[in-house]
Structure 1
Amino acid sequence: MFRGLTGWRPGEGRAAAAVGAATDGGGQAPAEDDEPGPDATRRVVTWRRAVLAVLGMLLLAGAAAYLQKDRIAPEVADTLRATIGDERTARVESWFFRLEDRVQKVRYRVLGAEMDPFEVRPVRVEFVAREPAREVVVWAGARRSDAPVNPDAFLPQPMQFPQTRQLRDNPEPGEGTWTTAGLPRTSPDDPLLAKTFFRPDSSRPYALVGVLLVDARRVRLHLVAGTVDPGGSRGVKGPGSIPAEDVPKLLAAWNGGFKGDHGNFGMVAHGKEFQRLRNGLATVCTKKDGTFVMGEYGRDFTWDEATMEACRQNAVLLVDGGEISKRTNEGNDTWGYVQVNSSEFITWRSAIGVTKDGNLLVAAGNSLSAATLAKALWAAGAETAMQLDINSPYVLTSLFFPQPDGGVRPEKFMETMPDGPGRFLRVQERDFMYVTLDESRYR
């Protein structure tokens, strides 16, 4: 009990007592209070608020970017191609399309979707310019006195709508049925244009393809090269605009094909070669007599300097000989320009086709693969069809309604189409197509 007294100094007892008080019976210091102090609590709350604020900002930024994706997508894609290359950009696009497709499916299950792309059009009265009276020449000759001459017997027959095919057991009202409602310069008695829609994908009921039918006897098809595409990389620039004299006769305009370097699909127009025409590709060519042809280049026709005016190629045929092409599910660069299987990209797509009677079809729709776009064209009566550009905001079809002052008022063919309908009245960097009223061959 006297151990340690030898070296005892004043104050050591109190220090030892203090140490003893600070230890438990086993010589271990007791646990400190688990409750954080006011400063620690304040720091935790502050960090939680900061993290939640950042997450909220990211969520809002993501939502804003998604809502503006049609506007910013081209710039983002071009930036990515310049930094990570075409192939990696295509893979990023494929991931985005898969995500967007899932979002669309969830949205449809929760909110539903419109099942008719034309039902939002308001009823309106349109100005229609009176065309000059048609001259009918009747040759004099012997005839029965009780058989009067009927001038209408000498007029061309109205356009006959192609027979459509039913793609679903439960079609929506109007699906697969041709109508002239809401189209410029046309009426049930004088069907210059007609339209219908299809839902070609049973797993995506909200995927709607609008199809415009045009009486080829009464129009002229024009192919316009853009100021940048498809010939910009070769230093060959197009006008990118509709001539002023064609504007009063405008009926419809729509986007062209892929960018010039994306597949190097050929185009010849305005007396220039923007990209070389190649065999085996889907091709549409306009002729100097106002007609046009569509088919596989090298098999069905080739360039004829004496008769042809312009040609545009894009991928391979969607519909060939009245049947859906077996190549619609091919991968690699058949439907794009990279090794990524772009035929399966679920996105906006566009196409043109020709019926068995030779009339023009213009089609576009959302949430489509190459195969479902082909199915819609086939259902509309296409004998031949070819894909044009894909992805928003490139896909657009505009209608033009004549005005009393001689101008035209543009409207989108489908209200859900990206971009504004007046696009084609401005100078375009990318190629496009349009039709004007031309009844010189309508006999």
Structure 2
Amino acid sequence: MKTWLRPLPFALLLGYGLVRLLHAPMDDNAPNRSAALCSALAHEGVTCTADDVTWVDGTNGVLGALGSGGGRALVRGRVRAEEPAGGAPSSPEARAAAEAASSDALDLYDVTARLSPEGSVLELTGVYNLTKTADADEGMPVIQGSRVAYVISVDGHPEAVHVLDFDGHDPHAYEELSSFQRWQLAISDWQATGRKRGIKRTVFALVPAPARAELSFRPDGMLEVKTDANRVIILDPAHDSIVDGAAYARAAAEVVAKPPTFGPWMSDRLRAISWFGDEKNQTLKAIVFTGQEWLKNAKAKITGDTSEKDVAEDIGSLTGKPVAATFTDPEIGWPPKPLEPMMKPALAGEGQWISLDKDAFITPIPGVPSPFLTTFVRTDPAAQYTRVYVTLWDPRLVALHMEAGTVEPVSATGEAGTGRIPRTPEVMRHVVAGFNGGFQATHGEYGMQADGVLYLPPKPYAATVMELRDGTTAFGAWPRATEVPEEVLSFRQNMTALVQNDKYNPWGRTWWGGVPPGWHDAIHTTRSGLCITKENFVAYFWGNDIGPEPLGRAMLAARCAFGIHLDMNPGLAGFEFYNMQPASTFQPLGRPLQSDWEYEGSLKDMPDFKFRSRRMVKSMGHILFPRYIHRDGRDFFYLTTRSVLPGPPIGGVGGAGSSGEGEGGVWRVKGLPQHGYPYAIATTSVRLGPDGSDKRARVLKIDPRAVRFDGSAAPANADAGADASQVVVSFGRPAVAARTAKGASAGSPPAEMLHAGAGDRKLYVGPNDFAIEKAAPANAVPIVDLFAANAPASAEARGAVGISDEDGMLVWIELLPETRADASTAEAMSKLLERLGCSSRALVAGNVHAFLGGALDIGGEPTAIGQVTARLVRTPAPAAHMMFNPTETVPASVWAPLQQQRVKWRPTLAPPEKPAGSASASSSGSPPAPAPPPRK
């Protein structure tokens, strides 16, 4: 052999050795290739049996082996986590993480292998976990063409059907992505699945969960699911739809969302590499953030920078010339008192609330003060150039909701969220803001439920924010029991409370997400948080270059009763305002947009709407702005304005005339028996025709969310029943003396109308709503007898009533005493109700009037009431409050192991075509929870 060829055998031998080291060894004595495949997978940490293997592709003789030589199989397998190295961890959280049990649930793997001409497995070339479902088992797959279907079971109960399309996502799914974003997704999909277009997944949740489910593809491509009682559900995988059996299934197709910017995206890619993983990724970020902090601190010491110029740029950009909100309205308690600055001397405006009234980037609420305030405070003596910005809102006027992302979190059954705000006009016209959610599931698997769909079960003692079914925002530390109360529509958890009972970190946590578990967490980076204040307002916090303690100090300065640490790191935390309006009435800004933090555009899927958006402050740099109005891969919160009184004035015919408060269609709310805030009633007067005649009427609006029926009131006694100080409206007949006042001879109803019989329908009041029906709705009581506008007695009607389609408000109309009732007034009242958006409307039977507080007529003037037929008293409207009080504060040695364990996931029974309600329904056998109210 020539000299230069002599090393060749050694090189080949070395190469063969490296190949054998890098690839799992094959079991040459395995009885078949499926057993050999499982033997090789065992070296990858995956255990399976030959019965768990379904071969999809294989070689075809010598030519096939010499060609691609590849085979592909779908394998059901289990994986166990490796024991942690490096000795015993120091912190309770780290010790709990090291002792946490890994899942024994079955996952479905896509395995590629090189095969011999005979079909024997020579080596594994790719192993991809397609499911990664916690505490759920994947059934044996059925295959037709590029589609694979299988059943997901939890505790032996079939909970969902998955359909995978190995042809990947449709090319149209990428239309809104830039070339760079498509490149990002291609790499992410290749890393996760070995395919540049990924694998499209559609989840069909089975509601309620049957005892069994059998799958089979039909020749026409439909998927047939046979369940209990010979029930058959027909699914259309090609269109992600339910052909038959929609009452027993819910479809959730996987959609493509824009990937994050390069930094967060690269962090996710490193985390997904098996030899790098999350801990090394956390270590890398800790090193980078520590270096950046050192440089910034050094610069600040040299220059003496206190960030005063940066603050002036951020705050000054909000309204041009911000004015501090210093007067607190005693009737509504808004705005609260300013924050007390910690750093002395304080910077200009530090801690002073700035009202965002008439902000062109915020959807307005007519007739009430702006529900948003903002300020800043510095809380880190060692880094006085840093600051925490605060946006505070009034939850009596603003509702909080949450939405699951298309990637995070994913439920035990693999079901992900839509990643976007519901695209309905009823929701979109109320959207006012959006902001980031909490940590990814890989960092704690903290619980989340959105719109009744449970994605991750609640963790004991975790800090939680909730949306209740009545629209209330609630906060609290979750109790040790993990059932979800029926009243909870949505919830999101993240770690333990950052602030509670006037203390920072009362639970003794040592890890706040900035470093690997076990490290001392002093990393300064972008952080965000959410809290409920002692005044029951809600605040969002955002700070750059801060640690967890400065964030907690800012919450204490804002008088937070309970504070939650949300997501962190640059590009992941941010808050955006929106002004969403119909395109036909959208008003231009009147100046050029500042493109670095302002935006104006429309929604592709709702072209009838336009929106204007801005970041909370100018220096807030987060990804994909505007982010939360579009589809997002991670969970997020969004805010909507509530439908509250008084609302916009009545325009057009009814509003002609005087422009004073309470007249000419301009609503009056002051000086009325409101007994709380937001307002329960509003009144005005209008003309009933365009001819300038003196036919006028008074209009009363009642918010059903602010009143309840007083069942204790005796019909014959106006003073009986509830405390008179809480009476908002009484319905009944006026005293005799009142019927002879103010020209009653001209407009008094005929004697037979004073005691007219019941009409063909009634006005009912129920929990938080009104209804006009012939038969009583569930849990509703009658208030007034009504009849149709075309009834024979309509010419004598002196009142009409309607229910607003938009917000459920009751609109009550009464003719003025001097206005004579006839057919034209009845028609005019009905047309006014129609113009006010009341498709449900009728005329009032008999001489029944509305009395404000039981002592004022509908115009707010003192009057005498005779017989009371019904009475409405004040009830608290949806707002914000604490929940789960008191949840005992326990040491880390108690809560850390519980939070590191996988909480058993159980879905819930839900009404047909409605999302599941909570984790308690299926276990308790209780009836399905009612559907949530419209989001407004």
TM-score computed with the length of structure 1 as normaliser: 0.71
Change over 3 Å in CA distance of 1:187–1:197 after alignment to 2:
farther
Equivalent residues of 2:447, 2:493 under 8 A apart: yes
Aligned pair partner of 1:171 in 338, 346, 360: 346
Residues 282 and 515, structure 2, Cα contact 8 Å, conserved in 1: no
Counterpart contact for 1:219–1:437, Cα < 8 Å: yes
Report if the CA contact (8 A) 1:315-1:335 is conserved: no
Higher helix share: 1
SS in 2 for 1:217: coil
Match of 2:463 in 1: 282
Aligned partner (choices 354, 364, 370) of residue 548 of structure 2: 370
Aligned residues: 343
Cα distance change, pair 156–396 in 1 and its aligned pair in 2 (3 A): same
User: Deviations along 1:259-304, whole A, 9 cap, x unmatched?
Assistant: 1221110101132221110111100111111111111000799621
Distance 1:377 1:164, change over 3 A: same
Change over 3 Å in CA distance of 1:222–1:207 after alignment to 2: same
For residues 188 and 270 of structure 1, the distance between their equivalents in structure 2, rounded to whole angstroms, comes to 30
1:356 aligns with 2:552: no
Tell me which residue corresponds to 2:510.
Answer: 331
Aligned with 2:288 (options 72, 96, 99): 96
Q: Could you report, residue by residue, the CA deviation over 1:22-41 in whole angstroms, capped at 9, with x for unpaired residues?
A: xxxxxxxxxxxxxxxxxxxx
Partner deviation per Cα, 1:182-221 (whole Å, 9 max, x = no partner): 7433899813111111111111122121101101101111
Residue 309 of structure 1 corresponds to which residue in structure 2? 489
Q: 1:216 aligns with which of 390, 395, 400?
A: 395
- Tell me if the contact between 2:356 and 2:372 (Cα under 8 Å) persists in the aligned partners: no
Deviations 1:43-80 (A, max 9, x none): xxxxxxxxxxxxxxxxxxxxxxxxxxx93211221222
Partner of 2:265: 75
TM-score, scaled to structure 2: 0.35
Matched, 1:380 2:570: no
Matched, 1:119 2:315: yes
In structure 2, distance between residues paired with 1:300 and 1:337: 30
Distance in 1 (alpha carbons) for counterparts of 2:571 and 2:630: 16
The 1:233–1:345 alpha-carbon spacing in structure 2 relative to 1, beyond 3 Å, is farther
Which deviates more from structure 2 when the two are superposed, residues 402-411 or residues 240-249?
402-411
Task: Look up the SS of the partner of 1:407 in the other structure.
Answer: strand
Structure 2: gaps of 5 or more residues: 1-259, 322-328, 587-608, 645-676, 680-936
Q: Secondary structure at the match of 2:314?
A: coil
Alignment-derived partner of residue 498 in structure 2: 318
More strand by share: 2
- C-alpha displacement of 1:158: 5.2
Map Cα deviations across residues 139-192 of structure 1 (whole Å, 9 max, x no partner): xxxxxxxxxxxxxx9x96252414523311211111111111474338998131
Q: Distance in 1 between matches of 2:579 and 2:522?
A: 36
Q: Confirm or deny: 8 A CA contact 1:91 1:340 kept in the other structure.
A: no
* Range with greater deviation from structure 2 (74-83 or 348-357): 74-83
1:221-240 to 2 correspondences below 5 Å: 221-231=400-410, 235-240=414-419
DSSP 3-state at the match of 1:430: coil
C-alpha distance 261-342 of structure 1, shift in aligned 2 (>3 A): farther
Q: 3-state DSSP class of the match of 2:562?
A: strand
Residue type of the partner of 1:317? Answer: A
The answer to whether residue 671 in structure 2 is matched with residue 442 in structure 1 is no
Cα 1:190–1:103 change in 2 (3 A) is same
Which residue matches 2:634?
430
- Deviation of 1:343 after TM superposition, in Å, equals 3.4
1:389 aligns with 2:592: no
Whether the 8 Å CA contact 1:401–1:410 is kept in 2: the answer is yes
1:346 correspondence with 2:524: yes
Q: 1:175 to 1:318 in 2, by over 3 A?
A: same
| Whole-Å separation in 1 of the counterparts to 2:537 and 2:482 | 19
C-alpha distance in 1, partners of 2:318/2:518? 42
Alpha carbons of structure 1 residues 78 and 296: separation in structure 2 relative to 1, 3 Å? same
Distance 1:234 1:351 in 2: 29
Do the aligned residues in 2 keep the contact of 1:316 with 1:335 (CA within 8 Å)?
no
Q: Aligned residues: percent identity?
A: 25
How far the C-alpha of 1:231 sits from its partner, in A, is 1.4
Q: Which amino acid aligns with 1:89?
A: N
* Alignment match, 1:415: 618
1:327 Cα deviation (Å)? 4.4
Within 2, Cα distance between the matches of 1:156 and 1:407? 35
Q: Hey, which bits of structure 1, 4+ residues long, moved more than 6 A? A: 186-189, 299-302
SS in 2 for 1:344: coil
3-state DSSP class of the match of 2:535? coil
Q: 197, 203, 220: which is aligned to 2:382? A: 203
CA distance in 1, matches of 2:268, 2:571: 14
Letter in 1 for 2:440: K
Retained in 2: the 8 A contact 1:295–1:301? Answer: no
Tell whether the 8 Å contact from 1:263 to 1:337 is kept in structure 2 after alignment: no
Structure 1 gaps, min length 5: 1-69, 126-152
How far residue 319 of structure 1 moved from its aligned partner, in angstroms, is 1.0
One-letter code of the match for 2:492? R
- Conserved in 2, the CA contact under 8 Å of 1:255 and 1:388? yes
Q: Which amino acid aligns with 2:444?
A: G
RMSD, aligned CA: 2.9
SS of the equivalent of 1:252 reads strand
Moved more, 289-298 or 400-409: 400-409
Task: Give the superposition deviation at 1:442.
Answer: 2.2
Distance 2:281 2:566 in 1: 20
Which residue type is aligned with residue 226 of structure 1? G
* Secondary structure of the corresponding residue to residue 422 of structure 1: coil
Measure, in 2, the Cα distance between the counterparts of 1:97 and 1:277. 31
Structure of higher RCO (CA pairs closer than 8 Å, 6+ residues apart): 1
